[in-house]
Amino acid sequence: MRASKPAAAREPATQAALAIDRLDVRYGRARAVQQASLLLERGTLAIVGRNGMGKTSLCNAVTGMVPSSGSIRLFGEEIRGLPPHRIARRGVAYVPQGRRVWRSLTVDEHLRLAHRFRRGEWTPDGIYELFPRLKQRRHNGGTQLSGGEQQMLAIGRALLLDPSLLLMDEPTEGLAPIIVEQLAATLRSLAARTEMAILLVEQNLRFAVDVADSVAVMVNGCVVRTMPAAALAADRALQQQLMGVHAQGVGS
């Protein structure tokens, strides 16, 4: 199991893990992200917002998977415009929406394959310690896993890259409430015991405020507001106003 984070430790402590400044993402003439600015010093930042507000596009810009303009700095260094493999090498790992595990590979093969790309302090055995359920399922194929197990595998695979920044796009999508609670506890514990920063895209407000230190709200491609997670958790009216979602409100 891993005790420290070399990728983050390489950088001056004063630099924010992620600083996004006036980011634009366009698909043809449509602007999915418009002049978005965000600061993630350390810890966990959740981006919340309804469908189609530009959250995934922002993540894809950070990982280099879509072209963008503006600035994206990782521990002070500009990464916007770099190809995805170079951004990954700088310590950015991504758990995409839908998890995307391989049908033909077992759990163990997934983890050992990821471990070949970057040998850091995380090992497949460390991942099994973090997610004992995966150890029980180590010889099962990716699609024989439940949604929660697939999510654990996608997170484990990302951790094996020893990221200094972990991006997660809607990790709770399709998961049972009990699994969502377990996932929240795991992410809180990861954030507490490592220096890895986490950028979480989430429509489940309860989960977002449970896991994150601060929350950014995206509306129509813009980051309209950033606040401490506790402030959003305490303000039901604000939740309704920002999200317009009753069912996933905190405390509902």
Ligand X SMILES: Nc1ncnc2c1ncn2[C@@H]1O[C@H](COP(=O)(O)OP(=O)(O)OP(=O)(O)O)[C@@H](O)[C@H]1O
Say if CB 198 and CB 210 are below 8 A apart: no
Q: Which of 198, 213, 199, 204 is nearest to 243 (CA)?
A: 204
User: Minimum distance between the CB of residue 124 and ligand X, rounded to whole angstroms?
Assistant: 31
Choose between 66 and 111: whose C-beta lies nearer to ligand X: 66
User: Minimum distance between the CB of residue 37 and ligand X, rounded to whole angstroms?
Assistant: 17
User: Minimum distance between the CB of residue 188 and ligand X, rounded to whole angstroms?
Assistant: 23
Phi, psi of 22 (to 5 degrees): 45, 55
Choose between 56 and 106: whose C-beta lies nearer to ligand X: 56
User: Minimum distance between the CB of residue 183 and ligand X, rounded to whole angstroms?
Assistant: 18
Choose between 57 and 150: whose C-beta lies nearer to ligand X: 57
Choose between 134 and 168: whose C-beta lies nearer to ligand X: 168
Q: Which of 230, 96, 92, 224 is nearest to 166 (CA)?
A: 92
User: Minimum distance between the CB of residue 137 and ligand X, rounded to whole angstroms?
Assistant: 28
Report CA torsion sign: 74, 78, 84, 90.
negative
Task: Outline where DSSP puts E strands in 49-180.
Answer: 69-74, 77-78, 92-95, 165-169
Q: Helix, strand, coil % (nearest 5) of the chain?
A: 40, 25, 35
- Give the Cα separation of 6 and 195 in Å (integer): 9
Choose between 54 and 64: whose C-beta lies nearer to ligand X: 54
Choose between 8 and 208: whose C-beta lies nearer to ligand X: 208
Strand partners, 72: 20
User: Minimum distance between the CB of residue 11 and ligand X, rounded to whole angstroms?
Assistant: 28
Q: Determine how β-strand 44-48 pairs with β-strand 197-201.
A: parallel
Binding site for ligand X (CB under 6 A): 27, 30, 32, 49, 51-57
